[in-house]
Amino acid sequence: MNSPVQQIKERLSIEEVVSSYIKLEKAGANLKAKCPFHNEKTPSFFISPGRGSYYCFGCGAGGDIFTFVEEFEGLDFRGALKLLAEKAGVKLEQYNPKVEDEKEKLYRIMEEATTYFENNLKENAEVLAYLRTRGLEERSIKDFRIGYAILDWRRLYDHLKAKGFSDVEIEKAGLAKKPEDRSRAMYDRFRGRIMFPIADSSGRIIAFSGRLFIDDGKGAKYLNSPETPIFNKSAVLYGLDRAKDSIRKNNFSILVEGQMDLVLSHQAGYKNTIATSGTALADSTISKEKIVTNLGLVRRLSSNIVLAFDADRAGFNAANRAGRIALSLGMDVKVAEMPEGVDPADLISDKISGGPDAWREVIKNSKHIIEFVLARVLRDSKGDMRKVGREIKSVILPFVDALESSIEKSHFLKKISDLSSIPGSALEDDLRKIPIQTEEVIESGGEQVLKNEVVKFRKDYILRKLLGIILWQRTLKEQILDTDGILKEIGQILNVAGNEVLEKVKENKDDLIFEAEVFYEGLPAQTGDINVKKDVEELLRNLKEESLKEELAGKMRELNLAEQAGDKERSSQILKECQEINKKIHENKK
């Protein structure tokens, strides 16, 4: 029987998968598009239906349907496999790895906890009644898998222990904590709370946000999961797994603060709503660990976003920060003006003074964030023009500076000048004094990251696949490859010891083996042997090419610096080195 990877590839074409994410154009026998992995104006992203692959000549991203989904959705291989299997109608149960690794156990424990919380809610009439008074329908409660953590010190802990999970696994999942007195038993992190599961892009539960049911004044209103091996707060937004298709279809997202806001917005028909609660809004599109961040993924789905936060000072500040980050990432940002003292959940659920129609009007009448903040500044300053000037300089001009288009900048400077009576020349002078990077993106270099954005550098992907094949082969009784020889060749290409390369991926060893297994183990022996040998030869050749290109890019930077310094002798020497590297690249392709 074919492996699940082969079955999925037989049922889903590269064109079908990629076109469900981005718009494609015909380019002879191939297809082209603007690359979703870096910012570009002219399409350099090509899809080859015949080869079942894609490649971007701008950033080097490339691969098959699995790598595309991994990179676009910010998923690991197993997450991409799950998502594509569901799309293709392929069952995965019988293809679980022989040995469950740490991450798989954590996904399983989170699923078990979610089911447990759901069952608790069904048996708790008081909590169910509260959710209904907030306007939640039974279908919404079920769809979002909302649950309840019983007010007891270790009810969940005991349940998970009975299911065979260890103390280490329960603690690592962020579901229970050890007391300072180590002689005492562990206790549940979530107690007496309405539980909202947070899922990754493929729908796997990775964390929880718990809202206190009865506020006794002792605990925080909201308690969120800590970061774990499967939960990175800046890589996910609540509800994104359910909202992504609607965001693509409607070409805009709605960002709210709370879970209730989100669930009720979806219930009102706005399924393109996402929420920050339980997560952390990222200030770049790629993290330092080369992981796609939450806003990075949202921006890929659509560059248009509407912020719908509470109308109080805290909500205004949250919209202010989120707006500056989104603008710095090249997004078009609008703000929905909420009635004073009302949050989205209140507006949608109150059919007398609001309801879904009122929510629809609020979204429809949203204003560009610069117009929104300017109106707020003019209103709050109450005619004090010196205060207006200070606020425009400190609050509004950083928004203008974050805009990519010079035409847009001029448009908003004129609007600010017209409404505030501050001369345009004075505004331009103050705008020039603003630092190149706004305070939110200094540390991560958000703008620079945006320009050079690549989720996984091509070399990293090639190396990952090669190491996966090596590790997988070493688990077999009869190896068909000289793994030591391949590792030595990798070391020569990268100019490091081969064992050093393996050491760096030891934490992901099980993932790499699993990835290789599902690619090759389901094939007939002879076909599989030919495929894996052929793939290794091609991967080694590609790894060498990417390494040479990387070296060439470094030399080109050196050449540029030497030319700027007027060092002709050094420039001449570097130029020769560049020509030599270029020659090696062409020879490698033969």
Note whether 69 and 201 are within 8 A (CB): no
By DSSP bridging, strand 253-256 and strand 304-307 are parallel
User: Over the stretch 344-398, which tens digit does the pLDDT of each residue have?
Assistant: 999 999 866 678 999 999 999 999 999 999 998 898 887 788 888 999 998 899 8
* Three-state DSSP class for residue 241: helix
How many residues would you count in the chain?
590
Q: For residue 540, what are its two tokens?
A: 């080694």
User: Over the stretch 295-336, which tens digit does the pLDDT of each residue have?
Assistant: 888 998 999 999 999 877 777 888 888 888 888 888 999 999
Note whether 47 and 54 are within 8 A (CB): yes
Say if residue 41's pLDDT is above 90: no
Residue among 475, 461, 440 at smallest CA distance from 282: 440
Question: Scanning the structure block, which residue is given the tokens 């760096």?
Answer: 504
Element (H, E) at 177: strand 176-177
Residue among 319, 346, 347, 316 at smallest CA distance from 334: 319
CB atoms closer than 10 angstroms to residue 512: 22
Q: Give the angle 503-505-510 at the CA atoms, nearest 5°.
A: 120
Whole-Å CA distances, 573 to 557, 559, 567, 584: 14, 9, 10, 17
Residue among 417, 162, 441, 136 at smallest CA distance from 283: 441
Note whether 533 and 525 are within 8 A (CB): no
Average pLDDT over residues 9-23: 94
Distance CA 396, CA 537 (A): 56
Q: For residue 446, what are its two tokens?
A: 């958000």
Average pLDDT of every residue of the chain: 86
User: Over the stretch 141-178, which tens digit does the pLDDT of each residue have?
Assistant: 999 999 999 999 999 999 999 999 999 999 999 999 98
Say if residue 466's pLDDT is above 50: yes
Q: Which of 32-36, 98-102, 129-133 has the lowest mean pLDDT?
A: 98-102
Q: What is the pTM of this model?
A: 0.78
* Three-state DSSP class for residue 54: strand
Note whether 398 and 441 are within 8 A (CB): no
